[in-house]
Amino acid sequence: MEDINVKSVRYPKATDEKLEKISLKLGRPKKLVVIQMVNYFYGTKKDPIDFNDELLKKELVNGVNRIISFFKKQEKDFLLPMFTDSNGLTIIAKEHTEYFKIIWQHLQKEEKKSDRLSNRMGQLEKEIARTQQYYNEKSKLKSSFREILNYYINQRESLGWPVSAAKKEELQSHVRKSLENI
C-alpha cells in the first residue's frame, strides 16, 4: 500500500491562518480543503488570480437572459390573456352584482308577502277555532233548549186543560229560569 501523503506544500503563516478559518467554516480538515480547491480549479479551468472571471460573467449573463426571456414568454402566454379575460370577468361580475341586488329585493318582497300570508293564516286558524267553539256552544244550547222545551211540553200536558193560574205561573217561571241559565 502506497502512502498518498508524499508531497507537501509550504506557504506563509498568513495563508495558513486563512486556510484554518476556511476549514473551520466548512467543517473539514485543511488537507481536504486544499485537495478540493485544486480539484475545483482543475475542473473549472479557472485562474485563481482572475477575480473577474469572464467565463463566470458570461454564464451569469446567459442565465439572467434566459430567465428574462422565460418571464417575457410567460407574460405573453399567460399574463396578458389573463388580464384581458379578467377585464371581461370584472364586467360580468358587476352585471351579476346588479342582478343579485334585484333578486335580493325581490326575495325581501316575497319574504314580506309570506310573513303577511303566514300571519293571515294564523288569524284564519284562530277564527276557525272560534267558529268551531261557537258551533259546539250552539249545539249545546240547542240541546239545552230542546230539554227545556220538552220539559215544558210534558209538564203542560200533565197539567191538563183546566189548569190553575198559579201552576201555569210556576211552570213559566221555571222555564224562564232554565233559559237564563243556558
For 73-85, the pLDDT digits (tens) are 888 888 888 888 8
How far is Cα 148 from Cα 142, in angstroms, rounded to an integer? 10
Identify the DSSP state of 10.
-
How far is Cα 98 from Cα 93, in angstroms, rounded to an integer? 9
Each residue's pLDDT tens digit, 34-66: 999 999 888 888 777 776 667 777 888 888 899
pLDDT for residue 51? 67
Residues in Cβ contact with 156 at an 8 Å cutoff, skipping those fewer than 6 apart = 171
Q: Are 26 and 33 in contact (CB under 8 A)?
A: yes
Compute CA distances 15 → 8, 30, 51, 69, 167, whole Å.
Answer: 15, 11, 18, 44, 151
Q: How much of the chain, in percent, has pLDDT values that exceed 70?
A: 91
At residue 25, does pLDDT exceed 80? yes
pLDDT for residue 178? 78
Query: Nearest-CA neighbor of 164 among 153, 173, 156, 154?
Result: 156
How far is Cα 75 from Cα 67, in angstroms, rounded to an integer? 12
Q: Are 174 and 137 in contact (CB under 8 A)?
A: no
At residue 156, does pLDDT exceed 80? no
Each residue's pLDDT tens digit, 96-141: 999 999 999 999 999 999 999 999 999 999 999 999 999 999 888 8
